[in-house]
Structure 1
Amino acid sequence: MTANKLLFSTIEVTRQAFYKTSLAFAIVNLKPIVPGHVLVVPTRPVPRLADLNGPELSALMSAVQRVGKVIERVYGADALTIACQDGKAAGQSVPHVHFHLLPRKLHGDRFSENNDEIYPALEHSEANLSDVLAVSKSTKDLSKEGRFIEGVEPIKMDADEERKPRTMEEMVNEAEWLKGFFTETSQQENVDSTA
């Protein structure tokens, strides 16, 4: 990982990142809905999927695919729920395109009996985020320049009592653990491509 700061909208997420390319990155989630719930985000902060150029969209989808394979394996999942809330009317609360990747199990995750309940849970998980992010005009101006944002208040999440916000230390520990799987995957891909 480079020393460049990564922004999810105006929120610096460098320490929560576990996968990065020049055009996309993946971060662990502050309040995961299921174990292994992560986000895949384009490097350039744009609000909607249609705002991405061709190379960015391609890189984002490649990152979703690569991160998804690893997350599914690492968390012992049978499948993935992959979701993108593209616009405020769709439930997007952070104005930066992102995909949720949620490892799923046929039996044993909290949504296995009623699979469709995961979608309201996703919407609820972000519903109030935009209302509580402290984003001043000067912060918005700085974010356009892609610089680190100082003075942004900590994120306060919705009142979902089942999912307490994790500490920075918990998120960093998970991100560091996940980074190791991408190093292993890269080494295996290199071996496979030379065989």
Structure 2
Amino acid sequence: MSKLLLYPIIVSCLSLFIYFLVKKSISSAVNNYCAFCTTMVLERQKFYEDDRIIALYTYKPILPGHCLIIPKRHIERFEELTDEEIMQMGQVIKKVNQAAKQVFKTSSYILLQKNGLEVGQSVPHVHFHYVPRVSEDNSMLKLLLKLYITNLKKPLPTEKLYHFTNMMKEAIEEAE
């Protein structure tokens, strides 16, 4: 009789062990996923690349011209960048700014870089958001509202994404 009671307990314990093992594996895989290290993302969104840095047009722009500047090397936080990567990233930000001025007729920009989940870093790969502004658009409240609702928006259609990446790529090539 005691053996009959022991089997359900063993099966239950084994089931729980397997459940938590699988859950941990799935969670680890999700947390280790990096969109910026994915070929499909890079092929769709990249408009500039050099030996250390890549510039992407974001698939859910806050405003027209919203780009991401990332190191090729997969690192999660700003302080892990080398001095050379920081310097080169600054140079690429200047190139992106010149191209955005030409393509989107912008006059100002915001740089945003987050370090850690607690501050909203959604992709575990260091990146700078380059968000340009036009001179008539001086409402910070409107910008904050757009920043908040951007995650709820649908991604840009592929044709539009390609259009913007091609325009930015051409503008950078013309400037060089």
What is residue 130 of structure 1 aligned with on the other side? none
What is residue 74 of structure 1 aligned with on the other side? 103
| Amino acid of the structure 2 residue aligned with 1:45 | H
| 1:65 and 2:94 correspond | yes
CA distance in 2, matches of 1:97, 1:119: 22
In structure 2, list runs of 5 or more residues that go unmatched.
Answer: 1-34
Whichever structure has more helix as a proportion of its residues is 2
| Amino acid of the structure 2 residue aligned with 1:179 | K
| Amino acid of the structure 1 residue aligned with 2:71 | P
What is residue 83 of structure 1 aligned with on the other side? 112
Is the 1:9–1:95 contact (alpha carbons within 8 Å) kept by the matching residues of 2? Answer: no
SS at match of 1:33: coil
CA distance in 1, matches of 2:175, 2:132: 18
What is residue 166 of structure 2 aligned with on the other side? 176
Is the 2:54–2:72 contact (alpha carbons within 8 Å) kept by the matching residues of 1? Answer: yes
| Amino acid of the structure 1 residue aligned with 2:74 | P
- 1:69, distance to aligned residue in structure 2 (A): 2.1
- 1:116, distance to aligned residue in structure 2 (A): 5.4
CA distance in 2, matches of 1:57, 1:179: 22
What is residue 35 of structure 1 aligned with on the other side? 64
SS at match of 1:22: coil
Is the 2:45–2:59 contact (alpha carbons within 8 Å) kept by the matching residues of 1? Answer: no
Q: 1:59 to 1:116 in 2, by over 3 A?
A: farther
What is residue 8 of structure 1 aligned with on the other side? 36
SS at match of 2:110: strand
SS at match of 1:13: helix
- 1:73, distance to aligned residue in structure 2 (A): 3.0
CA distance in 2, matches of 1:123, 1:51: 28
- 1:169, distance to aligned residue in structure 2 (A): 2.7
Is the 1:37–1:103 contact (alpha carbons within 8 Å) kept by the matching residues of 2? Answer: yes
TM-score, length-scaled by structure 2: 0.71
- 1:123, distance to aligned residue in structure 2 (A): 6.0
In structure 1, list runs of 5 or more residues that go unmatched.
Answer: 1-6, 126-157, 187-195
What is residue 141 of structure 1 aligned with on the other side? none
Q: Deviations over 1:150-172 (max 9, x none)?
A: xxxxxxxx4x2xx3211223212
What is residue 96 of structure 1 aligned with on the other side? 125
Flag the structure with larger Rg.
Answer: 2
TM-score, length-scaled by structure 1: 0.64
| 1:22 and 2:51 correspond | yes
RMSD: 2.1
| Amino acid of the structure 2 residue aligned with 1:42 | P
- 1:98, distance to aligned residue in structure 2 (A): 0.8
- 1:43, distance to aligned residue in structure 2 (A): 0.7
